[in-house]
Amino acid sequence: MPDQPLPLAGVRVIDITHFLAGPYLTRCLAALGAEVIKVERPPAGEEARSHPYHVNGQSGYFLQQNMGKKGVCLNLKDPRGLEVLHRLARIADVLVENYRPGVLDRLGLGYAELSAVNPGLIYCSVSAYGRTGPYAGRPGYGLLAEAQSGVMDLVGVPGEPPPVLRLPIADGFAGIHGVAAVCAALVGRHATGRGRHIDIALYDCMVALHEFAIQHYTLSGGTDILTRSGYDLPQSTAYGVFTARDGYVAIAAHMDEAWKRMARLMGGEALAADPRFHDTVGRNAHREEILRWIGEWVMAQPSLKECVAALDAAGVPCAPVQRIDQVVADPQVRARGMLFEQEHPVLGRVTLPNVPFTFSDADVTPRRPAPLLGQHNREILCTILGYSAAQVAEMERDGVLHAEDAVGRLPGNRTAPEASPTMGSR
């Protein structure tokens, strides 16, 4: 079946975000078909361009979170640069920003000012603590939201400091909630013709992520506070990570039937039939004994691979704890198109993670690499905003517009041709 138009085709998004929550949000909108114009400031551009891993001056971090976008680099301290951004906002469907509350208001780029001239504008603000409340003005990062929300206190070994979560949980969760909110606002605009202001906070998103700890505390009358428990969940025996001879395996035998299959594998019918372990309450009451049995059984297997095979054959949900090199080589990751290759104008062919959206009749694999700094200055100003070539040339000479040296080496000094994905197409 030929590809149908992407869900957000025809939607124009102005992206004035940096680092992760905002760029991930707009990256997803671009993958869903929106025209995303990323606005950066000279001379270095968005801060993520300085974040590793670097090859030939290009940041892999930036490439991943900004693929599918067009890029313009403006000096907003010059009235002409600020006017360009105002004109973009007037013709946009969506504007996404993740500055500290109040910063863009002082530039005349707040929601009140822009919605007055573009009533249909959907304006999405992403920040650490949101635009209201006693913490609204505080700077913040994902690390701080993960710590303050109590999520970090649930991870790690009792008696030791909680570990840093080496995945951007708060930023990613905020970004994807922003995608949902923007799409909902676009649907709502069909009925009213008006946009709205969306306020997304990393801290809110982390508090919302609690599926158990908060209600466990409130429903117990404040007497039961969950904290770090190590390598399993004491309230869901047996659900945890166990040490094998050459690695680690995660086992989810906490449901009644899964436990019976695990028990049968370890101790035969006698253990599977033992009524003490036939419900969650009974298994939790004998948690230490059960964990010891499973740990001994796992360590008795010749290898992690054979351990996983035995669990799979018995119908016990499990997975090996994989290193990143194993994830990249995982046939399921490849089959689902979660890695794809893309042509970059400086680096050549690069491999990057895909977005996790799969549609029956449309391929959302990004076809455009992340923009070079200032790569689309001329296209955006001349084609979209109607500036003359002479006006653009004057702004280039005066430093209002900026582009990295590699832009001048592109064929015809135009937008690099879009690259078709060669693996992992969906």
d(CA 17, CA 24): 9
Where helices occur in 149-212 by DSSP H, the ranges are 169-192, 202-209
d(CA 68, CA 413): 19
pLDDT digits (tens, 9 = 90+) for 26-75: 999 999 999 999 999 999 999 999 999 999 999 999 999 999 999 999 99
Burial category of 215 from C-beta neighbours within 10 Å (exposed 0-12, middle 13-18, buried 19 and up): exposed
Query: What amino acid occupies position 424?
Result: G
Catalytic residue among 78, 93, 105, 171: 171
Residue 415: predicted pLDDT: 41
Structure-token pair, residue 290: 């059960």
Q: Is the peptide bond before 390 cis (omega within 30 degrees of 0)?
A: no
User: What is the residue-averaged pLDDT of the chain?
Assistant: 94
| Complete DSSP assignment for 236-259 | SSSEEEEEETTEEEEEE--SHHHH
Residue 92: predicted pLDDT: 98
User: Considering only CA atoms, which of 336, 341, 415, 411 is closest in space to residue 374?
Assistant: 415
CA distances from 40 to 47, 69, 294, 310, 374 (A): 9, 12, 54, 53, 8
User: Considering only CA atoms, which of 279, 274, 289 is closest in space to residue 232?
Assistant: 289
Angle at 375 between CA 369 and CA 34, to 5 degrees: 55
pTM confidence score:
0.92
- Does 204 participate in catalysis according to the annotation? no
- Positions in the chain short of pLDDT 70: 1-2, 412-426
Residue 367: predicted pLDDT: 83
Q: What is the 3-state secondary structure (H, E, C) of 344-372?
A: ECCCEEEEEECCCCCCCCCCCCCCCCCCC
Domains and CATH numbers, the chain: 12-207+333-413 (3.40.50.10540), 239-323 (3.30.1540.10)
Residue 100: predicted pLDDT: 87
Residue 2: predicted pLDDT: 52
- In sequence order, which residues have a C-beta less than 8 Å from that of residue 38 and are 6 or more positions away? 15, 16, 17, 23, 26, 46, 66, 69, 70, 71, 72, 371
Instruction: With beta carbons less than 8 A apart as the criterion, state whether 315 and 251 touch.
Output: no
Instruction: With beta carbons less than 8 A apart as the criterion, state whether 385 and 372 touch.
Output: no
Residue 413: predicted pLDDT: 66
Residue 425: predicted pLDDT: 43
Residue 260: predicted pLDDT: 97
d(CA 343, CA 364): 16
